[in-house]
Amino acid sequence: MLWNYWLTAVRELRPACSRTRTFLWMLLTLAGLCCRADNAGVTSFVRALDFSGKAYHRFLHFFHSAGLHLETLTACWLRLCLRLFRPFEVNSRLVFLADGIKAPKEGRKMPGVKLLHQQSAGNTKPTYIMGHSMQAISLLVQCAAGQVAAVPLVSRIHEGLVFSNRDASTLLDKLVALLLTLVGVCQRQVLLIADAYYASAKIILPLLAGGHHLLTRAKGNVVAYWPAPAPVSRGKGRPKLYGHKVRLKDAAKEEHAFIEAPSPVYGENTVQVRYRVMDLIWRPVGHLVRFVIVHHPHRGTIFLLCTDLTLEPMEILQLYGFRFKIEIGFKQAVHVLGAHAYHFWMADMKPIRRGSGNQYLHRTSDGYRAETRRKLNAYHVQGPLGVIAQGLLQHLAINHTAAVWHGFRSWLRTMNEAMPPSELVVAYTLRSGLPAFFAVAAKFPGLEKIIETYRRHDAPQEKYKLAA
């Protein structure tokens, strides 16, 4: 039953492939991403589907195929998400979440790999790594019981390769361009929620020009201005725009100006916060923006910035709390799906040194640049397919909760069948029901022939067990 729902959704992605055979191999790749038991690259798809070794090179050829159009695939996936899920809306605006993720890569012949700095260091997150730097955008959706989730929409590598020395675009410019591409598909106004890195005029001004808004965390050293009072009589020159200067750090110390209220953030039902709201002119954008200063008993002082002046202070705090949903999605993408566990390398590439930065290609040959773009496209195929596979698992978890729990014939210590399951539970359920996938393969002409050609028949399919 679950595989029927899964196949019905994947069928909507057919326009992204110029050939039927390309679409069928994309379908098999998505099936492998959704139910594989390990994240060891392309070989894991072969093992998950119980194929023979002959299928390995077919999967490799698919990732480098010109028959899959990435922009069309992203557009099809966004339209499908708007039909499958119930988007969380604020003043009739869709809510998008944006953040960056760094995928560790040790390959010396992988284009785009560079030295990256990670701010939040830990036992499994060193300060400096070699890897790919990506930016991702997710759609905030609402479940039937009121919970919210972040459905990934797109992920792109935005650092590491410079094809022209005249290209001065930054990560912020590239994220805005990616976001506006999505907006052009859905034809809706959006509210973008991001962390403090994106509190910049390079983000805000293009959004405001299109009628969109940004909600983000502001830095503590921000300086803004009250609007200048209207002059009594018009004098010479341009009227004064900026009034009294306000330092947010100083405003946070004026305790008498704060109001106490229950925290609207999910999971904080018994927490009381104190807040102050000010509509100030921020000089980098030249517009009024709403600053909300929050004293949290456990998290300290938080400075929030929102370009939508109609949102209430507690609504702004609640929405910013949803930003962390995209980070939860990143963890699932890394540990459950292995969305960034690719190992495609370029044979003719000059090996990079550990600690090196961007790779400048403006002085290389046309053939070398073309081969680099071909390899980068393979990485970008893996990224969107990982995004789509995770979204399909969320679709089954949110819209077919009872069917997933019914097919989950195992045990977890934290099971709650009244709640939508995690991607791990859905992946295990699909894996245990994989024979049903092959049984319904006849719905797609040509797929049955591929399965018959590459599937192994010398051994029964492995039975997977889950240890809690």
Per-residue pLDDT of 388-443, as tens digits, reads 999 999 999 999 999 999 999 888 888 888 899 999 999 999 999 998 898 887 77
- Evaluate if residue 468 carries a pLDDT over 70: no
With a cut of 90, say whether residue 198 has pLDDT above it: yes
- Stretch 301-314: mean pLDDT: 96
Whether residue 308 is contained in a domain is answered as no
Residue ranges of the alpha helices (H) in 126-251? 171-186, 201-209, 248-251
Give the rounded percent of residues in the chain with a pLDDT score beyond 90: 69
Flag whether pLDDT at 464 surpasses 50. no
Mean pLDDT value across the chain: 91
Between the CA of residue 461 and those of 24, 29, 59, 129, 138, what are the distances in Å? 22, 18, 20, 38, 35
The answer to whether position 397 is within a domain reads yes
Write the CA distances from 435 to 335, 425, 432, 453, 460, integer angstroms.
Answer: 25, 18, 8, 16, 11
The pLDDT assigned to 121 comes to 58
Single out the residue of 299, 254, 296, 261 nearest to residue 278, CA to CA: 254
pLDDT tens per residue, range 232-242: 777 777 778 88
Q: End-to-end distance of the chain based on CA atoms, in angstroms?
A: 25
What is the total count of domains within the chain?
A: 1
Mean pLDDT for the stretch of residues 21-33: 95
Lowest mean pLDDT among 60-74, 289-303, 445-459: 445-459
C-alpha–C-alpha distance, residues 277 and 281, integer Å: 13
Please choose, from the candidates 156, 160, 162, the residue with its C-alpha nearest in 3D space to the C-alpha of residue 131.
Answer: 160
Rounded to two decimals, the pTM is: 0.92
Residue 380 pLDDT greater than 90, yes or no: yes
Over residues 328-349, the mean pLDDT reads 91
pLDDT of residue 264: 93
In a domain, 314, yes or no: no
What totals of helices (H) and strands (E) does the chain contain, helices first? 15, 16
Residue type, 291: F
Q: Considering the domain boundaries, does residue 312 fall inside one? A: no
CA angle 242-192-341, nearest 5°?
Answer: 135
Is 53 contained in some domain?
A: yes
Q: What is the model's pLDDT at position 167? A: 81
Q: Is the pLDDT of residue 137 over 80?
A: yes
Higher-confidence position of 457 and 404: 404
Residue 387 has pLDDT above 70, yes or no: yes
Give domain status of residue 137, yes or no: yes
Residue 32 scores a pLDDT above 50? yes
What is the reported pLDDT for 460?
A: 54
pLDDT at 164 over 80: yes
| Structural domain span for residue 352 | 2-194+326-454
Asked if the structure places residue 142 within a domain, the reply is yes
Give SS3 for 414.
Answer: coil
Residue 244 lies in a domain: no
Report whether pLDDT(463) > 50.
no
pLDDT at 20: 94
pLDDT tens across 213-235, in order?
Answer: 999 999 889 999 999 887 777 77
